[in-house]
Amino acid sequence: MSFQEITQDIINHPLFIELQDVQHHGGENSLYMHSVDTAKCAYKLAQKFHMPEERVCSVTRAALLHDFFGYKWRSAQHKRYKKYYKGWKRVTHMHAFIHGAHAAHRANRIFGLNERQKAAITCHMFPLAPMPTNSEAWVLTLADKIVASKEVGETVGWHIRKMYHKVID
């Protein structure tokens, strides 16, 4: 199956399109672009690792939904939620630790996931989240890190270009 066939129902869903308005890793990058790029990367990796077609589909859809947590983690509301916890519990309830579990829950409610996809999304922030326990989880964790490091590099370049134009203009 092609990437488009596997993903088009999610990509055209209004709640997924909303991710276009959420900035991610700075610069001009959105959570929508990050999610689509991570899904493309997972799709290619799964094929490279000769995973069965059913698992290629499974991990591609999981990757598309891995950051579908649906809250604004920099908002006052999310800060209030964190304040509810004290000490070490507050650390473990920080966005980086919990958003995989939230994304798995929400993605399952809206799109329906199998158990392996739920586990993969929940673990994608390993080592800040539990260790991946299936092949989809390892591919997703790897794809997310490849795409995120590329984005962070591009954001640094974006800031440097902005500063350069400020100085030159």
Shortest Å distance, C-beta 164 to Fe ion: 29
Residue whose C-alpha is closest to residue 34's, from 115, 117, 99, 129: 99
* Cis peptide upstream of residue 127 (ω within 30 degrees of 0): yes
Shortest Å distance, C-beta 8 to Fe ion: 21
Residue whose C-alpha is closest to residue 49's, from 151, 115, 41, 114: 41
Nearer to Fe ion, 136 or 144 (CB): 144
Alpha-carbon distance of 49 to 89, in angstroms, equals 38
Shortest Å distance, C-beta 54 to Fe ion: 23
Contacts of 16 (CB under 8 A, 6+ apart): 10, 32, 35, 64, 68
Burial class (CB in 10 A: 0-12, 13-18, 19+), 43: buried
Nearer to Fe ion, 67 or 136 (CB): 67
Shortest Å distance, C-beta 100 to Fe ion: 6
Nearer to Fe ion, 47 or 149 (CB): 149
Shortest Å distance, C-beta 62 to Fe ion: 12
Nearer to Fe ion, 6 or 62 (CB): 62
Task: Please give the residue ranges that form the binding site for Fe ion (CB under 5 A).
Answer: 67, 144
Nearer to Fe ion, 33 or 51 (CB): 33
